[in-house]
Structure 1
């Protein structure tokens, strides 16, 4: 006799409906949060750079903000305004003076380029660049440019660089619409980051399913990398630019302050930044027939200017940021390409958070991740031993390596 099918009672049906309803609500809430968050990120993406700069500077200015809070007896809004004013004075003053001197010397360099080149390379007794090219590259004799064409091309290039730098600096100091907008967004965001930073961080961490220790590690790593990158890069840049500019001055190169500023800017590139300025200068002195100044400048820049980067950057940036030099290099260059000039700070911060995220992942799944043994190099085959023959699936014989004992 066949058994009758089991019919669930009303209570079971209600329990299943409640479970299905709960799953539906959970899925709907997750989908709603994802869609709305995606729309918000699309709205905020054009403002990402000034917001990140504001967040980084706010984290670095927190000690000064706390001092103003105590000074103004807990008035956080007034303390935030005072912090922004001090930061503006500290940043705007030196940068304006440095850019003003650099622009002035850039105009001088660009205006004197053609007369200097014609004086050095235009006379019959001067260095003949065309003859040098033909002597060293005979195959280029038919299409090698003349001495006059070389002088004019180099002069126009130098003049173009000077004009571009002057126009860029003028646009920066006068303020384009885009720069002013980003600057206003950064200042406006910093005011609230300083004033309400604790509440903002508490709300963000509340929605992150991480342990409190991991949340503190994220915040600590963010601030430490930002501080180390800015402190180390600025100090290294100022030292390299100052010492490099002094070397240019004593070597008789015009516009030493201008080239020093360029060296400060390029020093954000680890390892090779300052060399992009002093190496062409040394070559230029050798070509101009000034062997002694060129040799002295080469020794000075190679042993002092470049050594500053190699010695101080690992200590000022690498140790405080707790990152390998390669990661700092990748973060700096990638940040410059992706975020522009301020990327030298944002890039290493992103790399540091990337490494920290994988550390948290490894700690969370350490029980299921397999252990990694010591990696040993594969043994070299013995050339004197006769290889054994074995048959593969196709029936052809092939040498068989020795088995591990």
Structure 2
């Protein structure tokens, strides 16, 4: 049969290997892959430093690497120290908040008795039972949020994160140093025609990755601005710190700003400040809507894909591969488009 040619079998084998790689290898090697992608993104800056200052690559890489580390360390230090300070303040004030909560609950019961005077006993008991159920559900939800299992699970993940982060930093520096040699080692196994196609594909991917980073940065700036203005209106004393924290967390697709704002709003609801809790809830919904509407459009414009395929690729990738799928989905579409434009993949059929 003509279908089972040597070329088609190699293509099928390549597709199977690619799928297995995405499913089993990429999640494990994520820090190294992210380091390689980051090195590719930073490489134009390294070459710019080489050209303008007439430095050798090693010196340019060290300078750019230190510059990035200083910015990253400064941002993390300011954010973490401010966050720890706010947590300490909260723990000091927590007993007062819980006493206030108990007073609110007693006051609600007293008002309930006043409003239900003259009603049938079954109605009164039913209302009391429902209110007690709601209160207990809220209490269980708060206790579950700060439960021993959740805290120990979070603390257990910290060493894994630190190891992955250290591997990422080391791999990033090594990739930045060896990137030209890696490119040469790949191209020496290619024919002239294939090498030209791959170079075109690499240029396309470089512009796409840069566009992706630019799109994420632009969307994050919108989120940061809206968060800062919203918190200036709602809680001005927390505006700078919490805007920065929400901005950083919002870059994580699965979590987003809602993971910070909703518990914060719930805390104000429980403590009796319904107005502030409502405002924070509205802000969380607003940020979620902005990201879901703006992100596909901005990303599509920056990486050269239409908003609809971009949204579909992100959603399908997220469902199939989890967190990493949010990036894998558009990446697969970009790889296919670049391979098709370069001539590596040829599609020419009619039904």
Match of 1:309 among 291, 303, 311: 291
Larger RCO, structures 1/2 (Cα 8 Å, 6+ apart): 2
* Unpaired segments ≥5 residues, structure 1: 1-25, 372-405
**What's the CA shift string for 1:211-269, capped at 9, x where partnerless?**
73x42442133223322222222342354245325534643499663475145323443
Following the alignment from structure 1 to structure 2, what is the Cα–Cα distance between the partners of residues 207 and 117?
A: 72
CA contact (8 A) 1:318 1:324 kept: yes
Give the TM-score normalised by the residue count of structure 1: 0.59
Following the alignment from structure 2 to structure 1, what is the Cα–Cα distance between the partners of residues 174 and 243?
A: 35
- Shift of the alpha carbon at 1:343? 6.5
Q: Say yes or no: does 1:274 pair with 2:219.
A: no
Following the alignment from structure 1 to structure 2, what is the Cα–Cα distance between the partners of residues 284 and 200?
A: 57
**What's the CA shift string for 1:62-93, capped at 9, x where partnerless?**
22211222245362232222222222223332
Tell me the equivalent position of 2:51.
70
Listed as ranges, the matches of 1:287-326 within 5 Å are 290=273, 292-293=275-276, 296-297=279-280, 305-306=287-288, 308-309=290-291, 312-326=294-308
* Unpaired segments ≥5 residues, structure 2: 1-5, 113-121
**What's the CA shift string for 1:136-171, capped at 9, x where partnerless?**
xx6994996484x55643443444499579848975
Following the alignment from structure 1 to structure 2, what is the Cα–Cα distance between the partners of residues 46 and 310?
A: 25
CA contact (8 A) 2:208 2:303 kept: yes
- Shift of the alpha carbon at 1:311? 6.0
Q: Which has the higher helix share?
A: 2
CA contact (8 A) 2:268 2:274 kept: yes
SS in 1 for 2:188: helix
Give the TM-score normalised by the residue count of structure 2: 0.66
Tell me the equivalent position of 1:192.
178
Match of 2:350 among 360, 370, 375: 370
Taking a change above 3 Å as real, the CA distance of residues 54 and 293 of structure 1, as seen in their structure-2 partners, is closer
Tell me the equivalent position of 1:353.
335
Tell me the equivalent position of 1:202.
187
Tell me the equivalent position of 1:225.
208
- Shift of the alpha carbon at 1:319? 0.8
Following the alignment from structure 1 to structure 2, what is the Cα–Cα distance between the partners of residues 322 and 190?
A: 26
Tell me the equivalent position of 1:153.
140
- Shift of the alpha carbon at 1:182? 3.8
Count the aligned residue pairs: 322
**What's the CA shift string for 1:344-395, capped at 9, x where partnerless?**
55553334214444566797242xx115xxxxxxxxxxxxxxxxxxxxxxxx
CA RMSD between the two structures:
5.0
Tell me the equivalent position of 1:6.
none
